[in-house]
Structure 1
Amino acid sequence: MMSKQTNISLPLKLTFFIFSMVLNCMGIVILQLSEEKITYDKLGFLESFKDIPIAIFSLFAVNFISRFGTKKSLIFALMLVGICLLFLPFVKAFWFYKLWFAIIGTCFAIGKICVYGIIRNNMTEEKSLAKTMNSVEASYMIGTFSVNTGFGWLISSQFGEYWKFGFMFISLVSFFTVYLFAKNKIAEPQNKTTTILPDLSGFGKKIFILFFAVSFFIIFIEQSFNSWLPAFYKDHLKVNSFFALQASSFLALFSYTGRTITSKIIQRFQLSNYFMVCVSMIIVLLIVISGIQFYSSENAKILLFLFPIIGLFLAPLYPVINSKMIAKIDKEKINAFTSLIVSVSSISSSINSIAISVLFKNQILTYYSLYILGAVLMVFVLAYSYFKISAEKI
């Protein structure tokens, strides 16, 4: 995968695979804790304990990574995740989930900045970078699929009460990834950051503001599915927990397919055109879904199959828009830029989770698809403006 360090491909993919599972287990946690009579408003704020530490620490993570090095920082983050996963099955208090997600979020901030930095330092051409990012980010979708499928089977089995012990598998994968990183040499960037906060000068231009706005709403949309789709299936479509999780797994499977196909064919197309076609397809699907919800409710079960198809077109958006901008960023500023991406993403995720919990609390889930459609339309308008000026030199 990498032009200079092909042997680092597997641990990079495993890193995203691990963080995908621990971040996207939020949907499982919400589903399980809601059955323990924990209210949706409390569960809606649970995501903030993951996202706010990501938003805050990502700005300081650049200094941390620069001081200790990319390799050591990645190993530290993965080790801490692995240890936290070992403790989770033995603690029942709700407050521990808040602490657990805060630690996971902090480690993710470190991990994502390191991974993006490694990719940028080994790729220069825009389409090659897009291909690489889609390939690595595809493993993120495999993690989402695996965590929903695996926990779905575990929860529905005779050992369902021990569902939290499934996190021990992720812990083992974390320790294995640490072993792989320890074996390999990783080229470290030459620049060293000495300030507490990264140098964010130059990121206030219109093109950056538009980029971050597009990223904000893409994450807004993704989180609407990743964390809340199982609960939507169960509460609104009245399916059991097992089927709710399996149906959500198909969203991840289609998302993986979307990113894998994109990594194979992206060099044949202009990035902006590819992006806008994907957004347009999502709009069409959501209009069809909304029509079924409002005018053909007796056929609502077909939504179990329509929602996952959205993943085919949604998944490529984030890697494509990121790769187009990252290719323009100087290598010396890539960590600072990635820290802003992580911050914006986490803020979006937190705001969305609180907002969407209101839909669940007030049982107005008929508007679930319209809520998401509004965010997709924002992406379409903002992305059109972004691509229009993206030819400008940064």
Structure 2
Amino acid sequence: MTTKHYNISLPLKLTFLIFSMVLNCMGIVILQLSEAKITYEKLGFLESFKDIPIAFISLFVVNFISKIGAKKALILALTIVGICSLILPFVEVFWFYKLWFAIIGTCFAIGKICVFGIIRNNISDEKSLAKTMNNVEASFMIGIFVVNTGFGWLISSQYSQFWKFGFLSISVLSAITIFLFSRLNISEPIKEEKVNIIEDLSGFINPLVIIFLAVIFSIVFVEQSFNSWLPSFYKNHLKVNSFFALQASSFLALFSYIGRTVTANIIQRFSLSKYYILCLSLIIFVLIIIAGIQFLDMDNSKILLYLFPVIGLFLSPLYPVINSKMIAQIDKTKANLFTSLIVIFSSLGSSVSSIIMSILFGNQLLSYYSVYILLAVIVLFTISLIYFKLADKTFRK
């Protein structure tokens, strides 16, 4: 990010931190509500109440953001998140969780489009864009770590029945971020009087974009298999308590943060495509080891508690690296609309993954957890190779 806009990096990072906390509290909610006898089938579809609004609203908020500006749109989204987090501890009924996640998903769609739009509006070089995106998205992983560690401590304490009051901290953080944004003058993405969504979308219908969106879908599909369901896998299959399950999952987020931070600092020395493929290859290698341990040495399977987090080092850079490579080629005036497509396919990947995971858990097929994820990563590896081959041909023209 240029020096002129360097001072906006903190509120952008805090924005992703906040949205990470509210989106990735799903693992805690699943863990706690499953103990309250809510079935895994119901909990699996709970993810859809977050992801479907994200997918549905993304295209329609582009005009709204263009009209009022990214700064005001971000402040509005953060205000709603803060209010919702303030209300949640005082509501007991299950249906409210559906409404809550739907509202949070809508706000996230607005927030992510605004953040990506601001970044793209100020950076053209794909490697610099990759560096900035990795830095900003690294805070997303810190949000996962903080929410798992904080709620894990609360759940394991004598005040475990008050675990939902942890959401009040998100309200406070939202207020701080809103204050920081209110004091800044930031360069807005280029505004248009009105975006013709249908006409502009037709310009994106080509093999390269379609394969790219399939890659985005697959990356989030794999990520969600870990983020929301790993605590329940640890507790149900490895028989550890709730606190340790959440702490072990926190280390996945911590390793993911390290992966994105390291990537941000070294990515300009490497080819984006080669770095991406190397990360994918290492994920497959670790998953093969995990699957072998599960099937050949079940008595020592608790070593999985320490192996799963290592995957975060190599999984976390994939999303920002592939996004930066593609977004750098998109016209700045179309950045918001293209980001909305990324948001849509990300949310679909998350929702489909959670539904499938709920079936896996509901049918007690946890022994196949690592194999299921390994197959998904192999599919991702295949379509990623296709994408890079098409991208090389397209961008060289």
Instruction: Report if TM-score (shorter chain) is over 0.5.
Output: yes
User: Could you tell me how far 1:27 is from its partner in structure 2?
Assistant: 0.1
1:157 paired residue number: 157
- Relative distance call for 1:175 and 1:297 in structure 2 (3 A) is same
Q: Which amino acid aligns with 2:206?
A: K
The CA distance in 2 between the partners of 1:150 and 1:188, in whole Å, is 35
Q: Deviations over 1:221-274 (max 9, x none)?
A: 000000000000001111000000000000000000000000000000000000
1:76 paired residue number: 76
Q: Which amino acid aligns with 1:154?
A: L
Q: Which amino acid aligns with 1:345?
A: S
User: Could you tell me how far 1:202 is from its partner in structure 2?
Assistant: 1.8
* Match status 1:250 vs 2:251: yes
2:24 paired residue number: 24
- Relative distance call for 1:2 and 1:92 in structure 2 (3 A) is farther
The CA distance in 2 between the partners of 1:233 and 1:24, in whole Å, is 17
Stretches (4+) displaced over 3 A: 195-198
The CA distance in 2 between the partners of 1:61 and 1:169, in whole Å, is 28
Q: Which amino acid aligns with 1:172?
A: V
2:93 paired residue number: 93
The CA distance in 2 between the partners of 1:190 and 1:136, in whole Å, is 21
Q: Which amino acid aligns with 1:302?
A: I
Q: Deviations over 1:85-106 (max 9, x none)?
A: 0000000000000000000000
Q: Which amino acid aligns with 2:160?
A: G
The CA distance in 1 between the partners of 2:310 and 2:65, in whole Å, is 38
The CA distance in 2 between the partners of 1:256 and 1:222, in whole Å, is 13
1:324 paired residue number: 325
Is the contact between residue 4 and residue 122 of structure 1 (CA under 8 Å) also seen in structure 2? no
| Segment drifting more, 27-36 vs 189-198 | 189-198
User: Could you tell me how far 1:175 is from its partner in structure 2?
Assistant: 0.8
Structure 1: gaps spanning 5 or more residues? none
Is the contact between residue 58 and residue 110 of structure 1 (CA under 8 Å) also seen in structure 2? yes
2:64 paired residue number: 64
The CA distance in 1 between the partners of 2:49 and 2:190, in whole Å, is 34
* Match status 1:55 vs 2:55: yes
Q: Which amino acid aligns with 2:214?
A: A
The CA distance in 1 between the partners of 2:321 and 2:195, in whole Å, is 31
* Match status 1:204 vs 2:235: no
Is the contact between residue 3 and residue 122 of structure 1 (CA under 8 Å) also seen in structure 2? no
The CA distance in 1 between the partners of 2:4 and 2:390, in whole Å, is 32
Is the contact between residue 3 and residue 123 of structure 1 (CA under 8 Å) also seen in structure 2? no
2:147 paired residue number: 147
| Segment drifting more, 179-188 vs 30-39 | 179-188
- Relative distance call for 1:137 and 1:346 in structure 2 (3 A) is same
2:225 paired residue number: 224
User: Could you tell me how far 1:2 is from its partner in structure 2?
Assistant: 3.9
Q: Which amino acid aligns with 2:97?
A: Y
The CA distance in 1 between the partners of 2:233 and 2:99, in whole Å, is 26
1:41 paired residue number: 41
Aligned residues: 394
Q: Which amino acid aligns with 2:254?
A: L
User: Could you tell me how far 1:378 is from its partner in structure 2?
Assistant: 1.0
User: Could you tell me how far 1:385 is from its partner in structure 2?
Assistant: 1.0
Structure 2: gaps spanning 5 or more residues? none
Q: Deviations over 1:144-176 (max 9, x none)?
A: 000000000011011110000000001100011
CA RMSD of aligned residues (A): 1.1
SS in 1 for 2:4: coil
Superposed counterparts of 1:259-338, under 5 Å: 259-338=260-339
Q: Which amino acid aligns with 2:122?
A: N
Q: Which amino acid aligns with 1:204?
A: I
The CA distance in 2 between the partners of 1:272 and 1:194, in whole Å, is 35
The CA distance in 1 between the partners of 2:184 and 2:354, in whole Å, is 38
Superposed counterparts of 1:89-128, under 5 Å: 89-128=89-128
SS in 2 for 1:158: coil
The CA distance in 2 between the partners of 1:224 and 1:4, in whole Å, is 39
Q: Which amino acid aligns with 2:369?
A: Y
Q: Which amino acid aligns with 1:242?
A: F
Is the contact between residue 2 and residue 9 of structure 1 (CA under 8 Å) also seen in structure 2? no
SS in 1 for 2:205: coil
1:185 paired residue number: 185
1:4 paired residue number: 4
SS in 1 for 2:379: helix
User: Could you tell me how far 1:63 is from its partner in structure 2?
Assistant: 1.0
The CA distance in 2 between the partners of 1:27 and 1:190, in whole Å, is 38
The CA distance in 2 between the partners of 1:190 and 1:133, in whole Å, is 19
The CA distance in 2 between the partners of 1:250 and 1:349, in whole Å, is 21
The CA distance in 1 between the partners of 2:237 and 2:183, in whole Å, is 49
User: Could you tell me how far 1:15 is from its partner in structure 2?
Assistant: 0.3
The CA distance in 2 between the partners of 1:10 and 1:224, in whole Å, is 29
2:194 paired residue number: 194
User: Could you tell me how far 1:68 is from its partner in structure 2?
Assistant: 1.2
Is the contact between residue 2 and residue 8 of structure 1 (CA under 8 Å) also seen in structure 2? no
SS in 2 for 1:200: helix
User: Could you tell me how far 1:3 is from its partner in structure 2?
Assistant: 3.9
SS in 2 for 1:5: helix
- Relative distance call for 1:185 and 1:39 in structure 2 (3 A) is same
User: Could you tell me how far 1:196 is from its partner in structure 2?
Assistant: 7.0
Same amino acid, percent of matched pairs: 69
1:174 paired residue number: 174
Is the contact between residue 31 and residue 231 of structure 1 (CA under 8 Å) also seen in structure 2? yes
